[in-house]
Structure 1
C-alpha cells in the first residue's frame, strides 16, 4: 500500500493546429450556456499565418464595441448625464 508508484494522470493535450496550413494556433476561450449558467469552452483559435488561406486579419475594433444597452437591468431608461431631474 502506498508503494505502487506514481499513477498515470491525464496525458498532455497536443497544441491545436490550423486545418489549412498545419501551423500552430492559439487557444480561444468561448462560452456556452448550460443549465442557465455560462461555462467556458476551450478550442482552437484562428490562424494568424499571413500565407495561410484561413488566416484571420485582426482589426482594431473589439467585438461588440458598438453594441451598448440603452436600458438598465430593470428596464428603466438611464437619465442623460447632467440631467438634474
Structure 2
C-alpha cells in the first residue's frame, strides 16, 4: 500500500497529512480497481493538482 500526502490549512499554514493510498492487491479490503477509478474520475490520477498557496508579502 502506498502513502498519499494530503494538505489541510490550520492557522493560516498548510500542513501535510500522510494517509493510506489505494491498494493494488486484489485480495485486500481497500483494493481499488484502476479501471473503475478512471471511469468515475474520483481517483488521484484523474484529479488536477491543487495550486500551491500564494506567498504573502
TM-score of the pair, normalised by structure 2? 0.50
Q: Determine which structure has the larger strand proportion and give its number.
A: 2
If you compute each CA radius of gyration, which structure gives the higher value, 1 or 2?
1
Q: Determine which structure has the larger helix proportion and give its number.
A: 2
